[in-house]
Amino acid sequence: MRRISRRRKLAFAAAALTLALAAALLALEVGLRLLWTGYYLKEPGMRARPSPTLGWENRPSVEFTYGEPEFVMAVRHDERGFRGPGVPATKPSGGARVLALGDSFTYGIGVQEHETYAARLQALDPRLQVINAGVQGYGTAQALQLYRERGALDADVVLLGYFWNDLANNVKGPRLGYALGPAGELTYTRPTHEVRDPGPDFKKTPFRGSRAYRFLSDRLKMLRYRAKAALGVATEDPDLLRPDELEEAWAWQEALLRELARLVAERGARLVVAIIPDQVQVHPEVEVVGLSAHYVDVQPRLLALGQRLGITMVDLTPGLKDLAAREGVTLYHRYDRHLDAAGQDAAARLMLDAVRRAAGLAQE
């Protein structure tokens, strides 16, 4: 009887293993398509597009499902790219219109449309008509430019959500035609060339339509994060802002906020800045390797800056920290680190009185 060579045996074993793996993946794919409701597609360009004056912007007039390993959320953008159903033709009788500017915390990464702090403000006081103009990755310069270009919405209050990485964006982010003079004055010259930046986007993968790929990819992503944390590997960029860049970033911050406040006042509105704390400031038991206190602890200097410029500042840190400690609730997604639904609701409640005062509405 002819003996099968060792090489051929290994080839047969490899082929059998490959077929078994393919069959298992096929069975998983079919099962997930039938039973799994947590699928979402990450398609390049589905949520944002390049902009000649903003760097990037939300893609207008789209609806899609977006997610990460910890959440799945339904998204819709109106014709302006704002998250939500669109800007109503009229303001509420006896009420006020609020334009919410900011980054992914304002946009509401990690929560449904009705759970964003913009939507919760409106639900808490129906006299407020709140428009969510948040865009993922935006810093103060982009928020200012968005308001300059598209803020003529007869808003009574402009509510800017501020997170600590906005300070780094002043140095690292797109300048959009703004320049800082030697005395700290801000000038703007519309770019003569297109400023085109894809912004936060997804990598194109041939398997992006596969349920099995999304299911396994998300779980591997969580395992990778936990492994990094266990091994002490940085999950945040430790060199996001060098110490020598800090004063330049604060000079930009002051100039940008001063210009935003001037423009808001020129349009007959009031500016309110809500300072959103980092997860580690609210949940001190959470450790994020690579995250330095000199990035995160912007509140004291920002509050002093607001007082100097005459801008209403609302620091959400004490209220969120007290709520988390008193009631033992989690206000952030553990690994994604954005506010969860409870955190967004708490943020809205903490900024509600300041928004009402800015709008000239009596407290209820």
364: number of Cβ within 10 Å: 9
Lowest-confidence region among 65-79, 86-100, 121-135, 165-179: 165-179
Alpha carbon distances (Å) from 132 to 30, 95, 364: 38, 17, 23
- Separation of alpha carbons 249 and 12, rounded Å: 62
Residues 285-337: pLDDT tens digits?
A: 888 877 776 678 999 999 999 999 999 999 999 999 999 999 999 999 998 99
Alpha carbon distances (Å) from 203 to 48, 64, 207, 208: 13, 17, 11, 9
Across the range 262-285, mean pLDDT stands at 96
- pLDDT for position 10: 80
Identify how many contiguous H helices and E strands the chain contains and give both numbers. Answer: 12, 11
CATH of domain 37-359: 3.40.50.1110
356-275-134-188 Cα dihedral, nearest 10 degrees:
100
Q: Which residue has the higher pLDDT, 230 or 108?
A: 108
| pLDDT grade for 4, boundaries at 50, 70 and 90 | low
pLDDT over 80 (residue 199)? no
Residues 257-266: pLDDT tens digits?
A: 999 999 999 9
pLDDT over 80 (residue 29)? no
pLDDT over 70 (residue 90)? yes
- pLDDT for position 125: 97
Residue 18, CB-side half-sphere exposure with 13 Å CA sphere: 6
Task: Say if residues 255 and 185 touch (Cβ distance below 8 Å).
Answer: yes
Task: Enumerate the domain spans of the chain.
Answer: 37-359
Which two structure tokens, joined as six digits, stand for 150? 């598209």
150: number of Cβ within 10 Å: 15
- Separation of alpha carbons 143 and 355, rounded Å: 18
- pLDDT for position 210: 80
Across the range 72-96, mean pLDDT stands at 93
pLDDT over 90 (residue 239)? no
For the chain, how many residues are written? 364
- pLDDT for position 214: 79
- pLDDT for position 89: 84
- Separation of alpha carbons 153 and 275, rounded Å: 24
pLDDT over 70 (residue 1)? no
Across the range 205-231, mean pLDDT stands at 77
- pLDDT for position 21: 84
Across the range 71-92, mean pLDDT stands at 93
Instruction: Give me the sign of the Cα torsion angle 323, 325, 328, 333.
Output: positive
Residue 338, CB-side half-sphere exposure with 13 Å CA sphere: 24
